[in-house]
Structure 1
Amino acid sequence: MKRIILFGIVGVFSLGLSAQSDFSDVFAAGVEDAERFSNDYFGPMSEAAIYSMANGWYNSADSKPLGGFEISLVGNITGFKNKEDKKAFLFDEANYTNLQLVGGNDARTDTQLVSSALGDIEGVRVFVEDPNGVLDPQEFTLPSGLASEGLNFVPSAFLQASVGLVKGLEVKARFLPSINFDDDVEFGLFGAGLQYDFTKILPGDKILPVALSAVIGYTNLNASYDFTDQGLLPGENQRIETTFNTWTFAAVASTKLPIINFYGGLGYITGNSETDILGTYSAGVGPFQETVTDPFSLRREVSGVTANMGTKLKLGFFRLNVDYNIAEFNTLTAGINFGLR
């Protein structure tokens, strides 16, 4: 359970290293090969996490009046079950200096599909050969991914508050307080957004059956994971520090009925992740082993058009909403809300 929490909230690279012990073997090929493999292996998981955190900014186009507010617990589940292109990547020996594939049945091959951190391909063997031929080749298995453990989604969750200001304008904030797990994992999330309801400036807006709004939202997640005591790799002060930033822009429409309403939006999401592998590590094989400090950083950028449809049930102060967002990674969002007006 802890690994799932680490994955969903703390940061995708934390889970990758803690759950996939085979990953540490990649450092035997040297820093350059480890960095290249890490980019391909972890990249799709970063993309899914960015899409997950960017959702959940609205549940209606009808902005709140002055002093109206809503406090929500929002959860997102971003699926990748059918994303075969994100669950695997082509391993090509030509792109690596030392890492080579082990051929099956005495056959040699220089390319093969291997699992990303989302995937389920198992049993791919590789080896690192001593360039001077003194030592026997070091052979090991490449790590598989989340799908091999029965997980086909990336979750995220946070608290969110919305307050109505001047006519048609609503401000939003989302946050997850800084939390520390077992003195080795720490993370926190914050975000801010604006919603403007254009129908509020129209004559007779109170009798219009629909509302039209524009929404903009920014989300930031910072996390760190100290895995020195895990003993995955020889070295000291080993930790991961990762930052996710996402922007959401959307045009939203909704009905304005007393109890049950429907809403939908067309938008654009852009975001990036930057992960620093910090500390000292032993990389390489035998006498060619070297100790490196802060070996590399990984960066991923994504952007794309999104569209969603949802419904909201309002029973006095208590509200429920659920919607489905279609994008590069599809996301199911649900919210429990308490509000006034």
Structure 2
Amino acid sequence: MKRIILLVTLCNFSLAMAQSNLNDILAAGLNDAERFTTAWLNPVTEAGVYSISNGWYNSADAKPLGGFEISIVGNLTGFKNKDDKKAFTLNTADYENLQFDDGSTSKLVSTALGDIEGVRVYVEAEIAPGITERVDFELPSGLASEDLNFVPSGYIQASVGLIKGTEVKARFLPKINTDDVKIGLFGLGIQHDFTKHLPADKVLPVAISAVIGYTNLTGEYDFTDTDVIDGENQRIDAKFSSWNFSAVASTRLPVINFYGGLGYITGKSDTDILGTYQVQSGPFQTTYEDPFKISNKVSGVVANVGTKLKLGFFRLNADYNIGEFNTFTFGVNFGFR
């Protein structure tokens, strides 16, 4: 359960592996452990990249010189109906040692987003002439088994208007640094309103802008003291980065406005399993140092539609983003223009 709480409250998308089945997975041998963990983890890191990529704009109307807005932005990236992301087919022919307990050669198993439970596997090998050793264990399930169907992210964002329709943006998550968890997020963006160059800018009912935003999230989880597996300096180091390139249009009304955008997201996640791990069960008992690194590249077209309510200095906005993973974004904003 701790891995789920960390995932939700700290918005880190790949720390879950540390608290479940790491000893068992490594007992299958390093190659099998890396292959399985990659397939298990990639969907949740992909959802994480989509989640941190949103929320860069709530209007196409760039702020004038000196105009500013400070926002608290939250994203909920859902996967309830993403069956293709909640499970993958494990074919034992692709693995060196991993076998299904019931004799199957291929079946659907859970990813870090899924809810398939009770899948038992084993590893068996001859450790000496005539002596065979076997270890049985259950494959890990995912977030849906904890009744969670979304990946969250959140941050504080600030926007300031410059000259000639240009607005710069910055986002950050205040640094969290505890005994076992470190996490932080920052990002930079720019928006340019092309309609500001038109002679009739002041009377046009709509604005059209281009937005570019870069986001970086890093997280580290030190689980040496959790007794998951014997060893030293055990930790997971996760890094996420993403670019969002969007074209945006919005209305220009005094109180309630509507906006929409079409964009392209590209990003990457790197998850390092670091430290010393002493596998003491099964036929492949050995010690691993910094066992493996998992990388996942993500890209796709996205579109969104949203609305913004302005009440003096106080504003509210919400939008729905459609892509490989759909995301609901909401913001509480304070500003002056």
Classify the TM-score, shorter chain.
over 0.9
- Structure 2 residue aligned with 1:150, among 129, 147, 150? 147
Give yes or no for the alignment of 1:172 onto 2:169. Answer: yes
Structure-2 separation of matches of 1:288 and 1:196: 58
- Structure 2 residue aligned with 1:282, among 275, 278, 284? 278
Distance 1:169 1:52, change over 3 A: same
Equivalent position amino acid for 1:294 in 2: D
- Counterpart position of 2:119: 124
What secondary structure is seen at the aligned counterpart in 2 of 1:131? strand
What secondary structure is seen at the aligned counterpart in 2 of 1:280? strand
The answer (yes or no) to whether the contact 1:17–1:24 under 8 Å persists in 2 is no
Give yes or no for the alignment of 1:192 onto 2:188. Answer: yes
Structure-2 separation of matches of 1:190 and 1:4: 23
Q: Deviations over 1:142-197 (max 9, x none)?
A: 0111101100000000000000001200000000121113x100011000000000
- Structure 2 residue aligned with 1:304, among 268, 285, 300? 300
- Counterpart position of 2:90: 91
Distance 1:86 1:195, change over 3 A: same
Unaligned 5+ runs, structure 1: none
- Counterpart position of 2:57: 58
Give yes or no for the alignment of 1:244 onto 2:240. Answer: yes
CA displacement at 1:72 relative to structure 2: 0.1
Distance 1:62 1:175, change over 3 A: same
Q: Deviations over 1:91-120 (max 9, x none)?
A: 0111111111111xxxx2211100000000
CA displacement at 1:5 relative to structure 2: 4.8
Give yes or no for the alignment of 1:210 onto 2:206. Answer: yes
- Structure 2 residue aligned with 1:336, among 327, 332, 335? 332
> Which TM-score applies when normalising by structure 2?
0.96
CA displacement at 1:130 relative to structure 2: 2.1
> Which TM-score applies when normalising by structure 1?
0.95
- Counterpart position of 1:258: 254
1:63-74 equivalence runs, <5 A:
63-74=62-73
Distance 1:99 1:3, change over 3 A: closer
The answer (yes or no) to whether the contact 1:167–1:201 under 8 Å persists in 2 is yes
Equivalent position amino acid for 1:272 in 2: K
The answer (yes or no) to whether the contact 1:10–1:223 under 8 Å persists in 2 is no
Distance 1:284 1:100, change over 3 A: farther
- Counterpart position of 1:14: 15
What secondary structure is seen at the aligned counterpart in 2 of 1:129? strand
Equivalent position amino acid for 1:112 in 2: K
CA displacement at 1:207 relative to structure 2: 0.5
- Counterpart position of 1:324: 320
Identity %: 65
- Structure 1 residue aligned with 2:156, among 150, 156, 159? 159
Structure-1 separation of matches of 2:160 and 2:274: 40
The answer (yes or no) to whether the contact 1:102–1:127 under 8 Å persists in 2 is yes
What secondary structure is seen at the aligned counterpart in 2 of 1:193? strand
Equivalent position amino acid for 1:328 in 2: E
CA displacement at 1:31 relative to structure 2: 1.2
Unaligned 5+ runs, structure 2: none
What secondary structure is seen at the aligned counterpart in 1 of 2:229? coil
CA displacement at 1:3 relative to structure 2: 4.1
Equivalent position amino acid for 2:327 in 1: T
CA displacement at 1:27 relative to structure 2: 1.0
CA displacement at 1:24 relative to structure 2: 3.0
